[in-house]
Structure formats: C-alpha cells, structure tokens
A and B are shown apart, each in its own frame.
Chain A
Amino acid sequence: MTDEIKILVEKFTQGDQSAYTELVRRFQKRVYVLAYRMMGNHIDADEVTQETFVRIYEKRHELKTISYFQSFLLRVASNYAIDLLRRRQKRFISIEDETEMLPSVQAELVENIALPDKDLENAELAEIIKQAIDRLPPRQKITVALHDVEGYTMTEVAMTLGCPEATVRSNLHIARSKLKKWLAKML
C-alpha cells in the first residue's frame, strides 16, 4: 500500500468525504472484478460493489489498522457476496440475467471482454470453467476466485476472509479437487 493510499485511508476513517470519494475511484474496479468472479453476472457484481462501499463507509470506525484497508474492503465485499449467494440458495445463474443490463452496456461489455489466452480456445471453454466455479459452495468459490484467479497470496486471502491460512489451504484443496473432477475432460 502506497503512502498516498495510507493518507487517504486515514482521512477516510476520520470521516473525510473527499478521501472516501478518491478511494471509491481507486478501488471500485478491484471490488467489481472480485464481485463478478463471485456472482458471475454484471447486475449482481454491480450491486455487491455499491453495497460494499456503502458498508465500509458505515463501518469506517472499525478499521483499526490503516494498512489492512484492502483486506477490510475485500472482506466486506466477499461477505456480502457470500450472503447474497446463500440467500439465493444455489440458484443457477443463467445467461438471461445478463439481458437485464442496459443494451448499450451489455454490447460494450461483450465487445471489450478480454480475449481468452491460448489455453482457452474459445469463450465456450471459459463459460464451462465459469459454470464449474459457480457450482462451488460460496466459501470455496471466493477462495478460488481470490487465490487462483486473482492471484492473491494465501496470507492475503486468509486476512480477507478472516480465517487461518490452514482453512484457506483446505478450502482451496477441496475446491480444486472438485474442479479437477468436473473439468476432467479438459485437463
């Protein structure tokens, strides 16, 4: 975390609205990406992102250590996403959900989506992997999303989820075993 961010976070904890605005600007993409990995669609990712920032503003006094801001932010996001997923109780997220998005945003999102690497032959393959991840229970899903997809370290994931590293390792192991089983034909 840079000194600039630390100053912003410190001001934010004291209720400075312009510091909060700047933090929203700087961290909204990170939260959105994690939310998208968790929820699997734009509408829900948007909701999780908005709610996350509203909640951290309300809970700003709970942030005791400035340098833990990112973990604090991602923890709020993941907890909200997990709650939302649990409330929906394994609801299958279909492609129809994406049609609720504004047509212009939908079109640009599809157009701008990063092309799969050489390992992913086409978007269909990515969709299969995405659906396999969606089948995981929320805790395992967030662990895979943070560690394997977004590249956070075990320590960072443990701090974000507020659990021991051993739990992260265990969740990751179980989640990977399932994914390997479901995606056996591709591996």
Chain B
Amino acid sequence: MNCRHIEIYGDYYLSNTLSPPLRAEFEEHLNGCAPCRTNFERDKKLFGLLVSLPLPNPPEEYWQNLEKNILAKTFEESRLEFIENGIKKDSSIKEYLRFAIPLAAMFILLFSSLLGNFGFLNPFNMIESTRFYSYNIELLGNYQIQAREPIEFLSQTEGVLIMSAPGNAGYGLLIMAQMQSHGRGNDL
C-alpha cells in the first residue's frame, strides 16, 4: 500500500469497513510513513469534529406543525395545478371552437345555396315571395307593424290590446297600447 492508497482508504478505515488484510496493510504503512500518519491524524480529528456537531432538535410540536404545513401546501398546490390544467383544457376547447364555429357557418351557407340552386330551399327567394300586412298602432307614438300573416285582434280593453297572429306560437300582449286604426293591411 502506498501514500495514495492511504488517502483513498482513509474513509473506509475510519468507518470500519476495510477488510482485515487491507486494514493491516493500512496500519503498517501509517507506522512507517510520518507524513501520512500526520495527515491521517488530522483527518481523524476533523472527522471526529464533524460527527460531533450538535443536531438540531426542535420540540415535538414543531414536527406536528411541519407535517400539517407540508400536507396543506402539497394538496393546495396540487389542487391549483388541477385547476390550472382544467383552465388549460377549457382554453383548448375555446381555441377549437374559435375555428369550428366559422367553419360550420361557412359550410351551412354553402350547403343552403347549393340546395337553393336545385330548387329545394332558398331563404332569399322565400322572403321575396312573402306578403306583408301592415297595421298602424299608437303606442306612445305612432308605429307600423308588419306581419307575414293577417293579425287577428282578440280583445281590446282600455289601454290593453291582445292580438294573435295565426301561425305564430302564441299571443302578443301590448300593454298601454291604444289602437288608432286597424284592419287588413296592404301587400307591400
């Protein structure tokens, strides 16, 4: 064993993990080499000093609080991470919809116009062929109502006018309205 080996095996010697034959060789070299012996003695002292450093020993209450703090922090952060991921997912859906909605609208328009060309459906032609009926109603001013179907006036009491347009889903209710003139309108 040479001086270099003493440096390498010093740790193992101090921690008693050197095999008996190597341990004997180690000691033999130290006995015959003053510089190595001095260096090793200093290492030994340093090792002793480091091992003897006082350990921090907080009260038991601290460990209980530490555990609580760790768990609170861990699960709060993982909850935030979960929310953050959720937001990211929502954002990705929104991103997707930003492109999907205009694409769908374009497709519907294109499809409708194609059908119209074949005579199945054309919303523009339909509007052109519809007859409008016109009524004048005074409702805090003079207004003109236009309807595609003739309006049937169901009742007229003071200040309240109830009317129905056949083909519509329900009744229209005008409050505080006073009909000035009514009747079948003219085609526009």
Contact = CB atoms under 8 A, between A and B. Distances in A.
B46 A112 contact: no
A129 B43 CA distance: 14
A180 B10 CA distance: 15
If over half of B's interface residues share one DSSP class (helix, strand or loop), that class is named, otherwise mixed; here it is: helix
Contact of B74 (A53, A119, A147, A151): A53
Interface string A111-147: 0111111011001011001100100000000001001
A176 B73 CA distance: 38
B53 A149 contact: yes
B93 interface: no
A33 interface: yes
List 4 A-B pairs, minimum CB-CB distance, nearest first. A117-B52, A112-B57, A108-B59, A148-B50
Contacts of A151: 15, 51
Interface stretch (A19-27, A61-69, A72-80, A83-91): A19-27
A54 interface: yes
Interface of B: 7-8, 11, 15, 17, 42-43, 45-59, 61-63, 66-67, 69-71, 73-75, 77-78, 81
Nearest to A173: B7
A24 B70 CA distance: 8
A29 B63 contact: yes
Interface of A: 17, 20-21, 24-25, 28-29, 32-33, 36-37, 42, 45-46, 49-50, 53-54, 57-58, 105, 108-109, 112-117, 119-120, 123, 125-126, 129-130, 133, 144, 147-149, 151, 153-154, 169, 172-173, 176, 179-180, 183, 186-187
Contacts of B61: 105
A58 B58 contact: no
Contacts of B55: 33, 113-114
A187 B56 contact: no
Contact of A187 (B42, B66, B81): B42
A33 B62 CA distance: 13
Contacts of B77: 54, 58
Nearest to B38: A187
